[in-house]
Structure 1
Amino acid sequence: MNTPNEPGAMRGTAKKRKRIIDCDIHPRMKSYRDLHPYLSQRWKSHLETYGLRMRQPFVDAPRYPQAVPTFSRRDAWPPEGGVPGSSLSFMKEHYLDPCGVEYGILFLLHPMGMNDRNLEFGTALSNAANDWLHNEWTQKEKRLKASLLVNGEDPQGAVAEIERWGGNKDFVQIFMASRATEALGRQRYWPIYEAAVRHNLPMGIHVSGESGLPGAMGWPSFYEEHHHVQSFQHRELLTSLVFEGVFERFPTLRVVLVEGGFAWINSWCWRADRQWTRMRDEVPHLKMPPSEYVRRALYLTSQPMDEPERANDLRDVVTWFGWERLLFSSDYPHWDFDDPSQAFKCALSESERRGIFFENAAKLYGLEARGV
């Protein structure tokens, strides 16, 4: 965490850096009843009577109850009540205004419709959540843009939702969870990627979701383990996307991996290229080394920030991958939030800083400057 987790820690940062696009902000519902206006009577009754049925031991809490609610900063609780992230007015006062955020990209993590075992209900929840985001957030605050939540386990329903909102400027990307029933490169998910390309929308894949299975090494004992290995979700799904041929089949698809860090990407590319050289006869559908697909299609967000002992070593990491592929993200209002005035401890040139904090995301999402 790069800022004191105390009230007032972010005051005054807007003067230090005016042009910021934050690519990971988390709104939160006060309760699931917020979705009632956007659900049919059938699904409203289902939600009230049966609730959610997820692929994990807990429904309304993560596996580590002490992290409830929403893994958030102590100073992020709205004074009018409600959980962190549930008040638009307080988000503006506490973060957007003092930090000079020109645009913020919203990721709604709860409810995660694609985790519900009832696929039809999961799709209804996702669709209602998009209506809620549009009506209660992006229409009320033009600095905020939303990620369109789709139920990846229901590709037909997901495509219908993309078609419903495609062309609406309030939604700048499609949001799927990183952990699903199958690896996301599998062809059952390809109709979603095809729809994304058709509407010129990136896929924003946030660390999230539950497959119902433990990690590659079994169930972790400690929250520290759980938090550390989250980034491995992105390494696994990237391997699937590349080797299953998603980027070959959809050459204009763009993918943003959110909240998994970024220092791992170069070693992934080196290893994947080496394996492809040795075993390329098994994947003849790949026409070029994995690293070339990655550098054509992939963007990474900065949070959680990787902080080597020698701060300027971070420059090498970004240079190897590409300065134009890194986007700033804060993860507000979560406890490991990165304050934009303190996020990068290494030296950045003015052009590098503009790219990371504004220009890369503005180009990717088609956002116009708001006149600073």
Structure 2
Amino acid sequence: MSIIDAERSREAKYKLHVIDCDIHPAMTSWQEIHPYLEKRWIDHLTVYGSHLRHAFSEALSHPRMSPDAARIDAYPEEGGPPGSSLDLMRKQHLDPNGVETGMLIPLRWNPGSQRNLDFGVALTRAMNIWQVERWVTQEPRLRASVLVAQEDTVGAVAEIDARGGDKNFTQILILPRTDEPIGRRRYWPIFEAAVRNNLPITIHVGGTGGHPSTAGGWSSYYMEEHHMVAQAMQGALASLVFEGVFERFPKLRVVIMEGGLGWIPSFMARMDKHWNRLRSEVPQVKRPPSEYVREHVWFTTQPMEEPGSAAALLDLFDRIGWDRLLFATDYPHWDFDDPRTAFKANLSEAQRHQLLYGNARIFYGFDA
């Protein structure tokens, strides 16, 4: 018996009911979305290709620790990248892990960061249709995210309004490495459309805005870059708060996805401290920043924190708020969080159910 099998045997007494808020599907190739693209854009791909707002064409600034940032066992036998096989996703993740609902977060082709904005808008439209036809209609446990070309707010709003009444979509996906800080007014029409369509904004790590991942430039090592996700989320959260986004859109809901958890309590406390002393600079922020965060922002659990003691982890959950935590696995990436072993603490059945299932069911409005 493997270590994983032994661990799952010990945990077998817990019947899993899971809502996974972060599953990454992939296309086998560009040809998979050709049916949803106009001929103009198929020709564009053939002649010019895809180019992101980045220092390196068709590449990230630093290679991932493993190809595609994926688990080695997630490559389909028939070929294709991890996340491209629905059958393998069912066999490896949905069925054994009790996933009753899974949110699709397509990242691999990065439509929101295309240099050619018109192509980006066309690509988001095609990939939104692809999510439904390729995944959701074939697997009723899956839900799609509305992809938008976030630097073209007119195109983004049109796509949000087009998908807003479709129950196959649960949220709007934005990547934090935008051209400008995400709270700036150029992005406000996207937030307005989100509220109008009763869809939360999900900010998932990633994007290629052309800016380095650190204030001092590009990192030397993958390990450095991997830790910059928290920094990107801190910047996004501060921008949303201090630009007055939550005051302007009191019904806006935001999910910070895959940004870690350990920094959140101290970051809220520091924002409150500075606001108490410098609030005259930001009259649009009428209340302590932590109040906006606690009312408008939720956080996914992956990558799960693993402090030295269970008490420290439970204290972290207490300080963030148990009801603000949404479970995520990040399948099929290498730092996947198994719902049986992700929380290194003795949780009551009620606590476990709340984290794995209950919070997301309430947040997304799924029926019990």
TM exceeding 0.5: yes
Structure 2 SS opposite 1:332: coil
TM-score normalised per structure 1: 0.94
Q: Can you list the C-alpha shifts for 1:176-196, whole angstroms capped at 9, x where unaligned?
A: 111100000000000000010
1:73 equivalent in structure 2: 71
Q: 2:142 aligns with which of 118, 141, 144?
A: 144
Q: Can you list the C-alpha shifts for 1:25-68, whole angstroms capped at 9, x where unaligned?
A: 00011011111111001111101110111122334333333546
Q: 2:151 aligns with which of 150, 153, 157?
A: 153
Distance 1:60 1:69 in 2: 14
Q: Can you list the C-alpha shifts for 1:91-134, whole angstroms capped at 9, x where unaligned?
A: 00111101111111110002111211111111111111111001
Query: How does 1:195-274 map onto structure 2 within 5 Å?
Result: 195-214=193-212, 215-274=214-273
Task: State the aligned residue count.
Answer: 366
Q: 1:26 aligns with which of 8, 24, 27?
A: 24
Distance 1:14 1:116 in 2: 45
Task: Quote the offset at 1:16 in angstroms.
Answer: 2.8
Give the conservation status (yes or no) of the 8 Å contact 2:176–2:205. yes
Distance 1:57 1:67 in 2: 20
Give the conservation status (yes or no) of the 8 Å contact 2:301–2:326. yes
**Unmatched 5+ residue regions in structure 2?**
none
Task: Quote the offset at 1:69 in angstroms.
Answer: 3.3
1:322 equivalent in structure 2: 321
CA distance 1:132–1:173, shift in 2 (3 Å): same
Give the conservation status (yes or no) of the 8 Å contact 1:17–1:341. no
1:331 equivalent in structure 2: 330
**Unmatched 5+ residue regions in structure 1?**
none
Aligned residue type for 1:316: D
2:34 equivalent in structure 1: 36
Structure 1 SS opposite 2:252: coil
Give the conservation status (yes or no) of the 8 Å contact 1:13–1:98. no
2:52 equivalent in structure 1: 54
Task: Quote the offset at 1:7 in angstroms.
Answer: 10
Q: Can you list the C-alpha shifts for 1:242-261, whole angstroms capped at 9, x where unaligned?
A: 00000000011000011111
Aligned residue type for 1:137: W
1:83 equivalent in structure 2: 81
Task: Quote the offset at 1:279 in angstroms.
Answer: 0.4
Distance 1:116 1:337 in 2: 27
1:123 equivalent in structure 2: 121
Give the conservation status (yes or no) of the 8 Å contact 1:174–1:201. yes
Give the conservation status (yes or no) of the 8 Å contact 2:272–2:288. yes
Distance 2:254 2:87 in 1: 31
Q: Mean Cα displacement is larger for which, 177-186 or 46-55?
A: 46-55
Distance 1:83 1:11 in 2: 30
CA distance 1:266–1:66, shift in 2 (3 Å): closer
1:134 equivalent in structure 2: 132
CA distance 1:310–1:35, shift in 2 (3 Å): same
Task: Quote the offset at 1:12 in angstroms.
Answer: 10
Aligned residue type for 2:186: R
CA distance 1:69–1:123, shift in 2 (3 Å): farther
